[in-house]
Structure 1
Amino acid sequence: MTNTKVYLEIVKQLREMISADNLKSGDKIPSERELSERLNVGRSSVREALRALELLGLIETRRGEGTFIRDFRGNQLVQLLGTFILQDEKAKLDVIETKNLIEMDILWLVLKRADAKQLLKLKSLVESDQLTDDQFFYQLIELTDNYLFSRIWLILKDYHHSLSFKKVEYKRDSYLMLIEALVEKDEEKTLSAYRQLRNLSILTDKY
């Protein structure tokens, strides 16, 4: 097995171990020696994997104390990648396009799974100006009952914010129009309302 494959396998096993042991932010992880024995790999390979995870901000080493899982809800990883990777205009446009496509898939799931009562509750929140754009779409994601969509959208949302795009002010009526289309279970009307909200003129052939 190549060094790269060994390294990736260790990272994978570390993630599975953290999940199996139900470790959370602030918890201490086993020492290099313990990990080496538990994962049945060399200590140098374990050290390399831990160093990579530390550089990504997922763990931290405290002198004399050990290694701990970091609280990365502040999305340090997203900020890091946004700074070093997403610098060219093409990459920035890809973030916007991908976020839009994910949101359209979310709306499709809402059409299939949400009931009118849930959507009318969301409508009342919009009418009382209690939701930002991010909060509005997160509420919709909650209605899909799809954890993976939630994680993907949250990451894309944070990428989007890290790129410092010009802030867009959305009109309340646009959200209400979208909710109305969802309540009616009208897929075409929902897509049209979303396109109007996001000011989209051209979408992929999929839509």
Structure 2
Amino acid sequence: MEDTFSRISFKKKTEAISEQIVGLINSRDLTRGDKLPSERYLSETMGVSRGALREALRALEMIGIIETKTGSGSFIKVNGPIEKTTDLSKMMERDDNPLNLIIVRKTIEPLSAKLAAKNAGESEILHLKDFYSGYDIPAGEKEINYDLDGDFHLYIAEMSQNKSLYDVMKVITDRMKSDNFWRFAKEKTTGLLHHLGPHIDEHEMLVNAIANHDEKEAEKAMKQHLRSVEKGLLQFF
């Protein structure tokens, strides 16, 4: 089965990798339950970097074509034929790494939290607490409302009373909501029930610091939260 993979020379290598795997499923060279060769073998055989390979595999996992099991490898989840989906093409068109969002967020959001603690009025603090209460997960639910998460961080920027900072954060939160890879990694790292505790605790620390007008603690809490998010994302990007 390993001999069926061939070297890739296309410009958009992530898309070419995905299409080759889909093609092998359609030709029945790969069927449900088959394990893909190691990343090292695939990257060397196809002539691509491991980064491009992993991005292609993540895209295929996101749309349900493969399943990656930690410590075991990647397995085919479907049998052919599979049409070239618009979802796959759209995901392969992206040209940025979600970690770049974290780089920018780590730069501006601690300042956002610090200014929010300094400038927020009581009505704004009450509204922020309402945002935090929205993180309560009903029994049986396992996923965070990621749109709410983005709105929470955007509102902190609004509380800073710095319009330029808010405008930058609006661009970032729009990306957080629309970027499929960002949402995929967040769901993998914090979307499962047993991972929600630290995520919610970090937000609680942040809300309390802002409510107490403690600028240093608000800044510290935001830095700690973003380090936690970054640590999770580094597993996938």
Sort the TM-score into its range (normalised by shorter chain). 0.3 to 0.5
Structure 1-normalised TM-score? 0.46
